[in-house]
Structure 1
Amino acid sequence: MYFRLMGKLSARRKGLLEEGEKGFTLIELLVVVIIIGILAAIAIPVYLGIQNNAKNSAAKSDLTNAKTAVVAYQTQNSALPATIDATTLGTYGYSGGSVAWSPSAPATTATTYCLVATSASGDKFYTTDNSGVSAANTKPTGC
């Protein structure tokens, strides 16, 4: 198709086209523009959904890493850490992220905890000492 089109363009420059071959009609051009618009209208929302899924996955991963680090800290020190940050939990594999205690820092003598992570898309994920990562914006009991 490319070579045929280039051949026609070359022939046009030389003035060798037949009378019936003057180029694309307005209808043909409109059909192509409409098809491109429809494809863009389908592709853009799908792409945005994939971006939000990636942001949520990053928050879930941070939450799981923080929980693992808290359990390791609690096992070694027989108490919960005062804060969730890379300084306190860095030796246990946690490098930081969007995870925080909820609703506030618990007493270090407590044995239960709730961690909250907020993704860049605005969804909140929770985990407790006896549960896995919850679904988006589904707060488990004890948080």
Structure 2
Amino acid sequence: MDALTRARRRISSVLGRTRGDAGFTLFELLVVVVIIGVLAAIAVPIYVSVQNGAKDSGVKTDLAAAKQAALAYSVTTNGRYPATLSTNDLRSFGYGAASVTYPAGGAPQWQATPADNAATFCIWALSPTGAMFSVTEKGGVASGGC
């Protein structure tokens, strides 16, 4: 037996493995599973946060488009707004399809003040994340309702 073979056998006996023992130990696999679990615990909340931010941005975009359509509508009515106006009514003035799926009762809603033939309006919507956003004829999209 040469020196190389004796050295291999000695190392194998010290490590507790022989040539036929190939693969990973249970402990090594457990460490890998724990590392993957820690990475998932970090990544999932970040992903959900980014997803919620995108939903809120979609609502803000819808409200800004509804505002532009409402302003275009007011051109045809000498700067006045009706007491009720739906997003379907605004489609002929450039308001497109909603960019997010709204929860029940959360789609953009119209509120003219003080009543019919009003000079001001507020459009509000509830985001799928639960956040409320609104826009008026003079301002930009803001958090909160009308």
Query: Normalising TM by the smaller chain, what interval?
Result: 0.7 to 0.9
Deviations 1:83-139 (CA, angstroms, capped at 9, x unpaired): 1222x211111135421024x78523110111101111111001111110013x3x5
- Counterpart for residue 85 of structure 2: 83
User: CA separation in 2, counterparts of 1:21 and 1:33?
Assistant: 25
User: CA separation in 1, counterparts of 2:47 and 2:20?
Assistant: 40
- Counterpart for residue 63 of structure 2: 63
C-alpha RMSD of the superposition: 2.1
User: CA separation in 1, counterparts of 2:41 and 2:117?
Assistant: 55
- Counterpart for residue 25 of structure 1: 25
Deviations 1:52-104 (CA, angstroms, capped at 9, x unpaired): 11110111011001100100001122221431222x211111135421024x7
Q: 1:6-21, aligned counterparts within 5 Å?
A: 19=18
Matching residue within 119, 131, 134 for 1:111: 119
User: CA separation in 1, counterparts of 2:114 and 2:48?
Assistant: 37
Counterpart of 1:19 in structure 2: which amino acid? T
Native 8 Å contact 1:66 1:84 kept in 2? no
**Structure 2 counterpart SS, 1:113:** strand
Displacement over 3 Å in runs of 4+: none
Counterpart of 1:77 in structure 2: which amino acid? T
User: CA separation in 1, counterparts of 2:20 and 2:30?
Assistant: 19
User: CA separation in 2, counterparts of 1:106 and 1:50?
Assistant: 38
Give structure 2 stretches of 5+ with no counterpart. 1-16, 99-106
User: CA separation in 1, counterparts of 2:61 and 2:77?
Assistant: 24
- Counterpart for residue 96 of structure 2: 95
User: CA separation in 2, counterparts of 1:77 and 1:50?
Assistant: 41
Shift of 1:34: 0.6
Native 8 Å contact 2:125 2:133 kept in 1? yes
Structure number with bigger Rg: 2
Give structure 1 stretches of 5+ with no counterpart. 1-17
Give the share of equivalent positions with the same residue, in percent.
Answer: 43
Q: 1:33-44, aligned counterparts within 5 Å?
A: 33-44=33-44
Native 8 Å contact 2:133 2:141 kept in 1? yes
**TM-score using structure 2 length:** 0.72
